[in-house]
Chains A and B, each alone.
Chain A
Amino acid sequence: MNRPELQTVAASQQRVRERVGRSLRRRYRAERRFRACGLGAVLAGVLAVGGLFVSIVSTGYSVFWQTRITLDIQFVPEAVRAGDFTALVRAALRQQFPEVEGRQDLRQLYGLISDGAGYELRDRVAAEPGLSGTTAAIALLAADDVDQLRKGRSDRHAPEAERIISDRQLAWLDELDRRQRIHRQFNREFFTAGDSREPEQAGIRGALVGSFLTLLVTLLLSFPIGVAAAVYLEEFAPRNRLTDLIEVNINNLAAVPSIVFGLLGLAVFIQFFGVPRSAPLAGGLVLTLMTLPTIIIASRAAIRAVPPSIREAALGMGASPLQMVAHHVLPLALPGMLTGAIIGMARALGESAPLLMIGMVAFIADVPAGALSPATVLPVQVFLWADSPEPAFLERTSGAIIVLLVFLLLMNAAAVILRQKFERRW
């Protein structure tokens, strides 16, 4: 009707269109910048993790093979009876190189084979008593320096003074190689042996069993206690100052540095309650303290995620509060609780600091027999080996880390699968 007014409206519409068009370009630019930043952040993370894996795997993968030297062992009955198996190994070495004489040279020659070879022979004869009095070709563990050389981890072309293996030893090794007496075998001992001062004999069995026992204690204690605490706090506890205080403290507990838990465990469990030092029981108790807040917080979140309509339905049917929790809330919250528990366990598996405080850092060559015998755990084993001067321990360290990472990845994968499989949508 009113033409001038219509014109101004049309003009302002035109102006809006132009302005939107101009600001659109700016908005899209901002969006592209933001996406590039995000992508960069993700890439940085992936690169860091990838770099870590590559570096560990490239130093550690060779631990799964071990160099062995095959010698013809004459099981002289007298020596077998006396238990002097090292003499048998030395005799077999001298038989290969009869020209070697003199104490110095012989020591060098004997140094090609691991000190543990005698024990291997002893175990072999114990398993097969018929060997006594016969001669058999047996693949014996090579010394760690020989093993490292064969794996290309030490440079054979370096000047002799910078090499652990002398020129004479190199010559003997080349000769043995020509006689086809040097082989690489799958390193079963790495998984079946306990710790040792000699890297070629050291295995992770002790640490694996120690970790298993420690985690078992942790799981058995922290899961029931954590779930019970979460259920009580979420479903039954009155809301008052005391429960608020408890809640704040649980959250604080989750942020306490783990070594403090170790000190607490030392003072309370070992000094006061007399739990044996270095035992998986003590470690499990300490790790329980550390894992509890994680499990409680995850369990409470899982319980809170159960929709109130399910609770009302159960209560409306005349279920008692305990029946409501047991029949409806817990089954629905359980996957979330288990996920929390697995993640807590994975953290506990990788924990070393608190266990140092309670003596699980001691050198223990035996595989622990139970939760009360002295033990160490995988991460502490890594710590111990990383501290050792022998270059071959570097490879063992990385190998133990690989095993630890495999377990951690498996646990995290289990958590993810559990979450996907049982996740419910309402």
Chain B
Amino acid sequence: MDLERQQQRQTVGDITVPDPVICCRGVNVRYGDKPAIRDVSLDIAHHEVIAMIGPSGCGKSTLLRCLNRLNDTIPGAVVTGTITLDGQDIYDRQQDVVQLRARVGMVFQKPNPFPKSVYENVAYGPRIHGLAAGRAELDEIVQTSLQRAGLWDEVKDRLNQPGTALSGGQQQRLCIARTIAVSPEVILMDEPCSALDPIATARIEDLIDELRQNFTICIVTHSMQQAARVSQRTAYFHLGDLIEVGPTERIFTNPRHRLTEDYLTGRFG
């Protein structure tokens, strides 16, 4: 029975990619005594969008928050296994967590701009990391980041207004601009559109597609259509296990694991 279950939960599909940027091997996370994810191994390639899908509580957000060690802030969270970024173990004692988060940015479920001006929101990262030599350079970083996030035309006349005064979709794009202002290698997105209307969602999805040119993006989403639209690879999680990984098109058209199929066809979830 136990063996059978184990076999059933073994990841289906190829978890490896050539020249990965992030490489997870045997990752376990538990919150106190409660296991959140079990033995997850997954590679993430350069310049791809990988979607993580699955029913609530399946551990996809947990894995995402391991990648920039944001789980460190949760008391009782224990992470075992190895996660490497460009071959370097991010849970190594030598790894500085501030440095890591400058390289792995994050966009959250609910837009969370700082209660400061639009300009200050974007300038915050470059400022604390000392990326700009002077005001002119900082201005330029702010402008290009806002342009890349497709927000510049909407906010260029009100850079000094509070970021919290923007609409929900604009706030989320501001958060994306804030993240890309420090030129991270990977951007983690935790259900970035779940608080937005369909039009704002469409804009963010377009943006994700453009950002793929320069960044690697891991996106957790509840919307299977969104996963299908924006990602190249999809990973399906179920109750803390990584069930199936593969090219998005293959997963959606020809899922190999029964659980994946059940989820995609709407039998549960």
Asked whether A and B interact, the reply is yes
Chain A residues engaging chain B, CB cutoff 8 angstroms: 239, 307, 309-320, 323, 327-328, 332, 424, 426
> Contact at A239–B98, with CB atoms within 8 Å?
no
Please give the distance in Å from A181's CB to the nearest CB on chain B: 67
> Contact at B182–A309, with CB atoms within 8 Å?
no
> Contact at A318–B70, with CB atoms within 8 Å?
no
B222 proximal to A (CB < 8 A)? no
Across the A-B interface, give the 4 residue pairs with the lowest CB-CB distance, nearest first: A318-B101, A309-B112, A316-B106, A318-B102
Among A311, A312, A317: residue with most chain B CB under 10 A: A317
Can you name 18 extra interface pairs (CB under 8 A) apart from A312-B108, A317-B124? Answer: A309-B112, A310-B115, A312-B70, A313-B175, A315-B70, A315-B73, A316-B68, A316-B70, A316-B101, A316-B108, A317-B101, A317-B105, A317-B125, A318-B129, A318-B182, A319-B98, A319-B124, A320-B98
> Contact at B125–A309, with CB atoms within 8 Å?
no
Chain B residues engaging chain A, CB cutoff 8 angstroms: 68, 70, 73, 75, 98-102, 105-106, 108, 110, 112-115, 124-125, 128-129, 164, 175, 178-179, 182
> Contact at B128–A323, with CB atoms within 8 Å?
yes
Given contacts A315-B70, A317-B125, A318-B128, contact A424 B101 (CB under 8 A): no
Please give the distance in Å from A282's CB to the nearest CB on chain B: 42
Contacts of B128 in A (CB 8 A): 317-319, 323, 327
Contacts of B129 in A (CB 8 A): 318
Given contacts A239-B75, A312-B70, A323-B128, contact A318 B112 (CB under 8 A): no
Q: How many contacts A-B (CB < 8 Å)?
A: 61
Bound-state CA distance A271–B161 (Å) is: 57
Contacts of B178 in A (CB 8 A): 313, 317
Given contacts A316-B101, A317-B179, A319-B98, contact A309 B115 (CB under 8 A): no
Closest chain B residue to A309 by CB distance? B112
Bound-state CA distance A314–B178 (Å) is: 11
Given contacts A310-B115, A332-B115, contact A317 B108 (CB under 8 A): no
Contacts of A315 in B (CB 8 A): 70, 73, 101
Among A315, A323, A332: residue with most chain B CB under 10 A: A315
Bound-state CA distance A309–B99 (Å) is: 20
Closest chain A residue to B129 by CB distance? A318
Contacts of A332 in B (CB 8 A): 115
Bound-state CA distance A323–B129 (Å) is: 11
Bound-state CA distance A297–B80 (Å) is: 37
Contacts of B182 in A (CB 8 A): 317-318
Given contacts A318-B129, A319-B128, contact A313 B98 (CB under 8 A): no
> Contact at B124–A312, with CB atoms within 8 Å?
no
Closest chain A residue to B124 by CB distance? A317
Bound-state CA distance A307–B179 (Å) is: 19
Subset of 16 A-B contacts with CB under 8 Å: A239-B75, A309-B112, A310-B112, A310-B114, A310-B115, A312-B73, A312-B112, A313-B108, A313-B114, A316-B68, A318-B99, A318-B100, A327-B128, A328-B114, A426-B115, A426-B164
Closest chain B residue to A328 by CB distance? B114
Bound-state CA distance A158–B140 (Å) is: 89
Bound-state CA distance A307–B182 (Å) is: 24
Please give the distance in Å from A311's CB to the nearest CB on chain B: 8
Contacts of B124 in A (CB 8 A): 317, 319, 327
